[in-house]
């Protein structure tokens, strides 16, 4: 069974999080050489009978999809993590379960992240969208752009808005979910739900009984019933990092946790790397905007978190988007992945130079890192002003916010 990459995602609610803010964060651990891009899609109306062309299959489109911003491996349709215009954030983790994931091509967990964002205006709506699509289409297909080996996984999700979060864990079409409204929560690449289940597939328990995994008499513990027998990894690195914070949790706290290699939250191993990261801040006061900070580059300890705010006229950022190969994309053609095109975008290429300097030249690397953190700090302080201001947000000022940040970063690296 393929090893699921050890990603982490987090949420903190007030009063653990500061100033009536919900803080969400995710590190995406993926194959080392995989490129992630940041893509914005505006809200859209769709013709009747139209289809959503997902990574491997097409499904019926809905009449209207919400505006979304996502971070995704550049070869696929879905998303590792992202947010929509209504302040819903979703991230997923690949997991192994007692029942192996289907190898038949269906919806990827990452497709369901994007579909939840496009179709759900609240965290609960997004959960309902995901489980309905799971029931109808199932999950399956290769998680990696790799013709030589097949890696399919089950999925778990953290679905968050400013009122509540849902941890959704899935095995095939079966699922269980827990609602969270306070404190902190971390999920990683293994099942975590135990006996507190707030919603579930109607046949979940009878299915577990039919497989001989549950007697029907003991208390039903989801992860004990559905985890593989050899799954005893301690998924506590992330949990400990968040829970040991004595101060209120802020955007900066979450960024620092995501950058922490010593704890294992920031992955830099032979096979896997944290290829992109996100931190979102969702104010419970609806008059303040949600702000989403994306890296769009690998290794958050060597990346700049750049802010994005939804407004009606968001300026697209082609420099953080990978080249498009259309129908000739080896991920779209069968047999799949016969070639591996160069998917690096302009920001990724500029950042490669910075990573090389940070790794090789101690003096120049320290100076570079200091300047990068200073750039990031300017962005964080400007966003803090927006959150604490009583003045209404000027959409013209923030429509090209992410564009300007990417542009500045690229110029700085050159």
For 336-342, the CB contacts below 8 A with 24+ separation are 336/142, 336/147, 337/142, 337/145, 337/146, 337/147, 338/147, 340/145
d(CA 226, CA 192): 10
Task: Confirm whether 388 is domain-assigned.
Answer: yes
> pLDDT tens for residues 213-268?
999 999 999 999 999 977 655 565 677 788 888 789 999 999 999 999 998 999 99
Residue 9: active-site member = yes
Element housing 365 (H / E): helix 362-388
Give residue 2's pLDDT. Answer: 59
CB atoms closer than 10 angstroms to residue 200: 18
DSSP 351: H
Lay out the sheet containing 291-294: strands in order across.
184-187, 8-12, 21-31, 272-283, 291-294, 306-308
Is-contact 310 69, C-beta < 8 A? yes
Task: Confirm whether 36 is domain-assigned.
Answer: yes
Comparing C-alpha atoms, which of 364, 387, 172, 353 is closest to residue 284?
387
d(CA 406, CA 305): 10
Give residue 43's pLDDT. Answer: 98
- Strand 272-283 versus strand 8-12 pairing type: unpaired
Task: Confirm whether 3 is domain-assigned.
Answer: no
174 DSSP β-pair partners: 171
CB contact burial 107-120 (16+ within 10 A = b; e otherwise): bbbbbbbbbbbbbb
Task: Confirm whether 2 is domain-assigned.
Answer: no
Task: Confirm whether 328 is domain-assigned.
Answer: yes
Give residue 237's pLDDT. Answer: 67
Task: Confirm whether 1 is domain-assigned.
Answer: no
Q: Quick check: bond before 335 cis, omega within 30?
A: yes
Extract the residue ranges of the chain whose pLDDT is less than 70: 1-2, 4, 231-237
Q: Is 28 helix (H, G, I), strand (E, B) or coil?
A: strand
**Structural domain boundaries enclosing 218:** 8-413
Phi-psi region of 337 (alpha: psi -120 to 50; beta: other; left: phi over 0): left
Cα separations in angstroms, 204 against 79, 154, 201, 214, 223 = 27, 15, 5, 11, 12
Task: Confirm whether 321 is domain-assigned.
Answer: yes
Number of folded domains in the chain?
Answer: 1
> pLDDT tens for residues 56-66?
999 999 999 99
Give residue 236's pLDDT. Answer: 57
Cα separations in angstroms, 232 against 68, 192, 228, 235 = 36, 11, 9, 9
Task: Confirm whether 317 is domain-assigned.
Answer: yes
CATH code, 290: 3.60.60.10
d(CA 145, CA 31): 9
Overall pTM surpassing 0.85 (yes/no): yes
- Of the residues 9, 89, 235, 405, which is catalytic? 9
């Amino acid at each position: 069974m393929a090893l699921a990459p050890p990603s982490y995602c987090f949420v903190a609610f007030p009063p653990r999080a500061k100033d009536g803010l919900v803080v969400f964060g995710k590190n995406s651990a993926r194959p080392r050489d995989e490129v992630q891009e940041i893509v914005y899609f505006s809200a859209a109306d769709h013709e009747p009978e139209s289809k959503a062309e997902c990574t491997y299959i097409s499904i019926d489109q809905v009449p209207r999809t919400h505006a979304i911003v996502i971070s995704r491996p550049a070869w696929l349709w879905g998303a590792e993590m992202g947010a929509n215009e209504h302040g819903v954030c979703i991230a997923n983790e690949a997991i192994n379960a007692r029942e192996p994931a289907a190898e038949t091509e269906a919806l990827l967990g990452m497709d369901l992240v994007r579909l939840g964002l496009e179709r759900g205006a609240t965290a609960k709506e997004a959960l309902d969208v995901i489980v309905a699509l799971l029931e109808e289409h199932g999950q399956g297909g290769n998680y990696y752009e790799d013709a030589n080996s097949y890696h399919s996984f089950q999925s778990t999700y953290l679905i968050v808005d400013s009122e509540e979060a849902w941890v959704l864990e899935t095995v095939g079409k079966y699922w269980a979910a827990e609602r969270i409204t306070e404190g902190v929560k971390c999920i990683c690449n293994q099942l975590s739900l135990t006996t507190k289940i707030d919603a579930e597939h109607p046949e979940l328990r009878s299915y577990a009984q039919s497989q001989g995994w549950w007697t029907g008499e003991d208390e039903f513990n989801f992860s004990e019933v559905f985890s593989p027998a050899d799954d005893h990894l301690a998924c506590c690195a992330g949990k400990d990092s968040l829970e040991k914070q004595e101060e209120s949790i802020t955007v900066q706290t979450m960024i620092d946790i995501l950058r922490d290699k010593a704890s294992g939250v920031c992955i830099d191993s032979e096979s896997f790397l944290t290829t992109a990261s996100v931190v979102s801040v969702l104010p419970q006061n609806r008059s303040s905007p949600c702000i989403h900070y994306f890296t769009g580059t690998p290794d958050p300890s060597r990346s700049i978190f750049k802010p994005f705010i939804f407004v009606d006229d968001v300026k697209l950022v082609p420099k953080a988007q990978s080249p498009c190969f259309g129908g000739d994309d080896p991920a779209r053609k069968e047999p799949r992945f016969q070639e591996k095109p160069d998917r690096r975008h302009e920001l990724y290429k500029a950042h490669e130079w910075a990573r090389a300097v940070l790794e090789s030249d101690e003096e120049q690397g320290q100076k570079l890192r200091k300047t990068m953190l200073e750039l990031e700090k300017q962005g964080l302080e400007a966003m803090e002003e927006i959150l604490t201001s009583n003045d209404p947000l000027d959409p013209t000022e923030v429509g090209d916010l992410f564009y300007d940040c990417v542009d500045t970063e690229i110029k700085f690296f050159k």
